[in-house]
Amino acid sequence: MERLVVISNRVAVPKARGVAGAQGGLSGALNAALKDHGGIWFGWSGQESEDPEGNIHLQRSDGVTTATIDLSARDIEEYYNGYANSTLWPLFHYRLDLTRYERETGKGYERVNERFADCVSPLIEPDDLIWVHDYHLLPLGERLRARGIANRIGFFLHIPWPPTRLFVSLPFHERLVRTMLEYDLIGFQTDEWRESFLHYCRKELGAEVEEATGTIRFEGRTAIARAYPIGIDWDHFQAQGASEEARHAEQRLLSSTRDRSAMIGVDRLDYSKGLPERIDGIGRFFDQHPDRVRDLVFIQIAPPSREDVESYQDIRMTLEQKAGQINGARSEVDLVPIRYVNRGYSHAELYGFFRAAKIGLVTPLRDGMNLVAKEYVAAQDRDDPGVLILSRFAGAAQQLAVDDTGAVLVNPYSPDDISHAIRVALDMPLAERRARYETMIGTIRDDNVQTWTRRFCDDLAATAGG
Active site residues: 158, 367
* Nearest by Cα to 406 from 429, 374, 383, 437: 437
What CA–CA distance (Å, rounded) separates 34 from 454? 11
Q: How far is the CB of 305 from ligand F6P (least distance, A)?
A: 5
Strands (E), 157-199: 185-188
The CA-atom distances, in angstroms, between 186 and each of 94, 115, 198, 216, 361 are 21, 22, 11, 10, 31
- CB nearer to ligand F6P: pick between 280 and 367: 367
The binder of ligand F6P chosen from 23, 257, 363, 450 (CB under 6 A): 23
- CB nearer to ligand F6P: pick between 10 and 436: 10
Q: How far is the CB of 82 from ligand F6P (least distance, A)?
A: 13
> Distance from CA of residue 243 to its chain's centroid?
25
45 part of the interface to ligand F6P, by CB under 6 A: no
- CB nearer to ligand F6P: pick between 128 and 134: 134
The binder of ligand F6P chosen from 74, 199, 292, 306 (CB under 6 A): 306
Q: Which amino acid is at 278?
A: R
Number of residues that bind ligand F6P (CB under 6 A): 7
SS3 assignment for 143-167: HHHHCCCCCEEEEECCCCCCCHHHH
What CA–CA distance (Å, rounded) separates 42 from 67? 5
What CA–CA distance (Å, rounded) separates 19 from 454? 23
Q: How far is the CB of 12 from ligand F6P (least distance, A)?
A: 9
- CB nearer to ligand F6P: pick between 322 and 366: 366
Q: How far is the CB of 306 from ligand F6P (least distance, A)?
A: 5
Q: Which of residues 137-166 bind ligand F6P (CB under 6 A)?
A: 158-159
Site string for ligand F6P, 81-110 (x = CB under 6 A): ------------------------------
Q: How far is the CB of 407 from ligand F6P (least distance, A)?
A: 20
Q: 420 CB contacts (<8 Å, ≥6 apart)? A: none
The CA-atom distances, in angstroms, between 49 and each of 52, 53, 73, 280, 403 are 9, 11, 7, 42, 52
Q: How far is the CB of 78 from ligand F6P (least distance, A)?
A: 15
How many CB atoms lie under 10 A from the CB of residue 463?
17
What CA–CA distance (Å, rounded) separates 354 from 276? 21
305 part of the interface to ligand F6P, by CB under 6 A: yes
> Distance from CA of residue 180 to its chain's centroid?
20
Pairing of the two strands 261-266 and 359-362: parallel
Q: Map residue 206 onto helix, strand or coil.
A: coil
* Angle (nearest 5°) at CA 124 between 158 and 61: 70
Running DSSP on this structure, what letter comes out for residue 309? S
What CA–CA distance (Å, rounded) separates 9 from 4? 16
Q: How far is the CB of 413 from ligand F6P (least distance, A)?
A: 21
134 part of the interface to ligand F6P, by CB under 6 A: yes
Q: What residues make contact with ligand F6P under the rule CB under 6 A?
A: 10, 23, 134, 158-159, 305-306
